Amino acid sequence: MRREMNGVTKSRFEAASGFALRPCQDCPVETTRMCISFSLCQPGEVGTIQALKTSASVHDHVCVQMFSNNDEAVINKKLPKELLLRIFSFLDVVTLCRCAQVSRAWNVLALDGSNWQRIDLFDFQRDIEGRVVENISKRCGGFLRKLSLRGCLGVGDNALRTFAQNCRNIEVLNLNGCTKITDATCTSLSKFCSKLRHLDLASCTSITNLSLKALSEGCPLLEQLNISWCDQVTKDGIQALVRGCGGLKALFLKGCTQLEDEALKYIGAHCPELVTLNLQTCLQITDDGLITICRGCHKLQSLCASGCSNITDAILNALGQNCPRLRILEVARCSQLTDVGFTTLARNCHELEKMDLEECVQITDSTLIQLSIHCPRLQVLSLSHCELITDDGIRHLGNGACAHDRLEVIELDNCPLITDASLEHLKSCHSLERIELYDCQQITRAGIKRLRTHLPNIKVHAYFAPVTPPPSVGGSRQRFCRCCIIL
């Protein structure tokens, strides 16, 4: 049965907005008030976005006044439509839908395409189907600049083709985890979305070299591309991509296990503007490929090579000589790196802010001494499983240029030589927010307590093994189980 809501029917709103309304199951529906949930689909489709809760309601759902016959409210008289439209442009999806129910005038303004330039469905709803994306694209049209469908498993190539045809001004598109999409989606984007700058295809495992070739032909403005875990991509795809998209500034290739040094040589030769590069777990990468990156990409600020176990100090030397703007370096599990390489790096890259050196098992206090002297901006440092680090290295770090105002996080998990003395050395690090001390056998509760008296807001993550119970007294109780007696 269709209920009248102050002169405007429920079905009229659904038809105009593309959002479905349904009665609340938890409270009685009154004549002019209705508990609703929003759905980014046509009426009758499955999948809802629960309306925001409000303390003013007498129940847990939002009760909102539906359409009013009176469009001559004070706010409508005082503010011109252009200003109201500008205000609405700052609202999110759910709030816009709520405003669309206030009056006929607000309905027109809230559903205006200019308000739908940025849409992120991740926090609202991830079980949407392709028809939802099609509806969004038809409503927003050329206004839409940024869309996130991260984690929307039901969206496929057909819906994204319709989207590409309708939203040709899209600049930022996040399809992370949309596992149904294939090379056909990139072909559509290449054909219709020439203004695309940022594209996230992480975990879209059906993507192949054909997608990269299509993007290089139709999206020359592309600046950021994430194809992490797209393990079908090879050097041929990278070659095609960089030849057409020479303006790339950020490239995420995490888990692209087929990539070899030759792929990096293409990047180094064609992407001089590159700022961010993630090669985590690209196991075939060696010094040769990364040295080419360092020599061709002098603007590099962030490099992740964690898990690239073949690299040596030659990489650190190349970074120090060619990439002075480096701010983030992640080389966890690169066990061939030594103090010699980190010394060269620290003496040349003074803007370092974050370093992940977990399981760089050959480094000693010498590395910490160099960082404390030459890297005054250091904020985050991971030394987990660096078993040669001692209290003396932490002492230098605690007295270094970064200690007082910069250092925020230090991770010392499984550093067996660290004692409470290290915590004493860190008392002067007033910006320190978190310290990791798991399995540091010589750290005590008393040492942590003393640290907290100086840094009361610090988060200390530590684990203390339970005390081994003493052997039983008297000797009457057997020290092995009955199974051992039988055997």
CA dist 289 and 192 (Å) reads 34
pLDDT(24) > 70: no
**Cross-strand partners of 199:** 173, 225
- Interval 432-455: pLDDT, tens: 999 999 999 999 999 999 999 999
- For residue 42, pLDDT over 80 is answered with no
The share of the chain scoring above pLDDT 70, in percent, equals 79
Per residue in 175-215, pLDDT (tens digit) is 999 999 999 999 999 999 999 999 999 999 999 999 999 99
What DSSP character marks residue 97?
A: H
- DSSP letters for 237-291: HHHHHHHH-TT--EEE-TT-TT--HHHHHHHHHH-TT--EEE-TT-TT--HHHHH
Using CA atoms, how far residue 149 sits from 114, 292, 339, in Å, is 19, 35, 44
What's the token pair of residue 104? 């006929």
Contact between 459 and 434 under an 8 Å Cβ cutoff? The reply is yes
Q: How far apart are CA 315 and CA 321, in angstroms?
A: 10
Looking at 112-208, list the stretches that DSSP marks H as alpha helix, in order from N- to C-terminal side. 130-140, 157-166, 183-192
pTM of the model: 0.80
Helix, strand, or coil (residue 115): helix
Distance separating alpha carbons of residues 430 and 453, to the nearest angstrom: 12
∠ CA(195), CA(196), CA(198), 5° rounding?
Answer: 145
Dist CA 348 CA 342 (whole Å) = 10
Terminal Cα distance for the chain, rounded: 77
Where is 48: in which H helix or E strand?
Answer: none
Q: What is the pLDDT of residue 471?
A: 57
Mean pLDDT to the nearest integer, 49-72: 40
What pLDDT sits at residue 235?
Answer: 97
**Highest mean predicted confidence (pLDDT) among 48-57, 79-88, 180-189, 459-468:** 180-189
